[in-house]
Amino acid sequence: MRKIAYLFNRYPEASLTALRREVSGVESQGISVLRFAHRHSVQPLASDRDSREATETIYLAESRKRDLFFAFLRRLIRSPKTLIQAFRFRCAFNVSPLRFQAYLMMASRLYEILKSAGVDRLHSHFAGNASMVAMLCRSLGGPQWSLTVHGPEDIAPANLPRLAALMRLADPILTISEHTAAAVKRLPGMESRRVHVMPMGVSSKHLLATKPVPAAAPLLCVARLEQRKGVHHLIQAFDMVCGSMPALSLRVVGDGPMWSALIEQLEPLRCRELVKLCGWKNEQEVIDLLDECRLLVLPSLSEGLPVCILEAFARSRPVVATDIPGVRELFDNAGGGGCLVAPGDPDSLAQSILTMASKSPEELFSIGSIGRKYVARYHDADRNGEHLKQLWTKHAALSE
């Protein structure tokens, strides 16, 4: 296993820093990694590291149209059979003929670049557009391809036909949690196939020596500002909490489509001066904010495996989060680290925040340290890179 490629939809993304960490973890094993994406991120590049990643990434959908077209034409001339076979996936993907044609052209261009570079394997995350192109590249004769399934979008009922089609050529199949692995195993034809759980990881910077919880510290929420993250419920809950703890403040790190709606929500509330919407922050800034906070709050309505909880645990900070599958799995595996509340229930969230925030700094640090031990053992990005290398090498040997 000397050279592999990653294909993303948009890369790098401020909200998907864990994927960059995975790439770095794989490179730490002496593997050369080529980066591909459909398009540049629409999110701001949060750090110099992200800027460097962007310069090293080849953006297929932003290539010259003639390059894509002629790559497709060369595949049609040299291997018409593989292109004809690739067309059978269009119905499962449930995309328009025009979009599918675009995917085929990108897959043809990707095939040529990977073959010229001598790439041993192609890997993608999420059962979305990038994985469709990756699978088509494999069907055109490209290198072995593996897929990491996240959730909950990947395993939503409407997406299961697409996911089932992707599973046919993906080898190995990985998921970020046991919950997602169980859902994948229930798909038709998956009964006899093995699904490997490969969780997201934190960086070595997260696992440096931790700092005590400050005596007077704010709450912190790190989330993309969209409906399913439930930040609007957190603001409702915090407005209840601030009546009992008027010195407590809240920082929300992230951006997204609900930014304006959250500002409007805050306007009539008594807590509006105590809540700060911080926008995107880079990795080191998030670490600093975790070290400065009392605890992390994540009010999500659905999740795969929330990396911000891993990051909070790594810095020995307790977490108040919603009792949904991916989050519950983390808490169960860690053996604690905070408390869980019902999703979509601001009253229960407020009560749990009040209870947890009232604890002493020493108690909070002790609770958070439970999670740190678990994360250090199972969610180190460099160690996960080693496991990925071993897994890919094993599957390459079996396929020979």
User: Which ranges of the chain would DSSP assign to H, the alpha helix?
Assistant: 17-27, 48-55, 65-78, 80-86, 90-93, 97-117, 129-139, 160-167, 178-185, 231-244, 259-266, 283-292, 307-314, 325-334, 346-357, 361-378, 381-399
Q: Would the pLDDT of 327 be above 90?
A: yes
User: In this predicted model, what pLDDT tens digit does every residue of 223-270 receive, in sequence order?
Assistant: 999 999 999 999 999 999 999 999 999 999 999 999 999 999 999 999
User: In this predicted model, what pLDDT tens digit does every residue of 53-79 receive, in sequence order?
Assistant: 999 999 999 999 999 999 999 999 999
Can you say whether the dihedral through the CA atoms of 272, 225, 214, 324 is positive or negative? Answer: positive
Phi, psi of 254 (to 5 degrees): 140, 170
Q: Which pair of structure tokens corresponds to residue 15?
A: 């909200």
- Indicate the DSSP class of residue 318: -
Query: CATH classification of 3-201+380-399 is 3.40.50.2000, yes or no?
Result: yes
Q: Would the pLDDT of 399 be above 80?
A: no
Residue identified by tokens 């001066």 is 273
State the pTM of this model: 0.94
User: In this predicted model, what pLDDT tens digit does every residue of 103-158 receive, in sequence order?
Assistant: 999 999 999 999 999 999 999 999 999 999 999 999 999 999 999 999 889 999 98
Strand partners, 57: 35
Class assignment of domain 219-378?
A: alpha beta
Q: Would the pLDDT of 355 be above 90?
A: yes
Q: 64, exposed or middle or buried, with CB in 10 Å at 0-12, 13-18, 19+? A: exposed
User: In this predicted model, what pLDDT tens digit does every residue of 295-321 receive, in sequence order?
Assistant: 999 999 999 899 999 999 999 999 999
DSSP 9-48: EE-S-GGGHHHHHHHHHHHTTT-EEEEEEEE--SSPP-SH
Phi, psi of 290 (to 5 degrees): -65, -40
**Is the distance from CB of 140 to CB of 107 less than 8 angstroms?**
yes
Give the span between the Cα atoms of 252 and 4, in whole angstroms. Answer: 36
Q: What is the pLDDT of residue 1?
A: 74
CATH topology identical between 3-201+380-399 and 219-378: yes
Q: Would the pLDDT of 350 be above 70?
A: yes
Band the pLDDT of 92: cuts 50, 70, 90: confident
Of all helices (H) and strands (E), which one includes residue 146?
A: strand 144-149
- Asked, as a colleague might, if the bond just before 346 is cis with ω within 30 of 0, I would say no
Q: What is the pLDDT of residue 400?
A: 64
Q: What is the pLDDT of residue 150?
A: 94
Of all helices (H) and strands (E), which one includes residue 206?
A: none
**Is the distance from CB of 385 to CB of 275 less than 8 angstroms?**
no
The distance in angstroms from the start CA to the end CA of the chain is 13
**Is the distance from CB of 274 to CB of 249 less than 8 angstroms?**
yes
Residue 202, CA distances (Å) to 24, 299, 315, 363 in order: 11, 21, 10, 24
Q: Would the pLDDT of 398 be above 80?
A: no
A 10 A CB-CB count for 277 gives 18
A 10 A CB-CB count for 227 gives 13
Phi, psi of 360 (to 5 degrees): -70, 160
Residues of the chain with pLDDT > 90, as a percent, come to 86
Domain boundary assignment for the chain: 3-201+380-399, 219-378
Of all helices (H) and strands (E), which one includes residue 222?
A: strand 219-222
Give the span between the Cα atoms of 121 and 45, in whole angstroms. Answer: 27
Phi, psi of 336 (to 5 degrees): 135, -150
Band the pLDDT of 47: cuts 50, 70, 90: confident
Q: Which pair of structure tokens corresponds to residue 54?
A: 């962007």
A 10 A CB-CB count for 28 gives 15
Residues of the chain with pLDDT > 70, as a percent, come to 100
Mean pLDDT of the chain: 95
Can you tell me the mean pLDDT for 280-308?
96
Q: What is the pLDDT of residue 378?
A: 95
User: In this predicted model, what pLDDT tens digit does every residue of 168-186 receive, in sequence order?
Assistant: 899 999 999 999 999 999 9
Can you tell me the mean pLDDT for 339-362?
97
A 10 A CB-CB count for 192 gives 5
Contacts of 86 (CB under 8 A, 6+ apart): 104, 107, 136, 139, 140
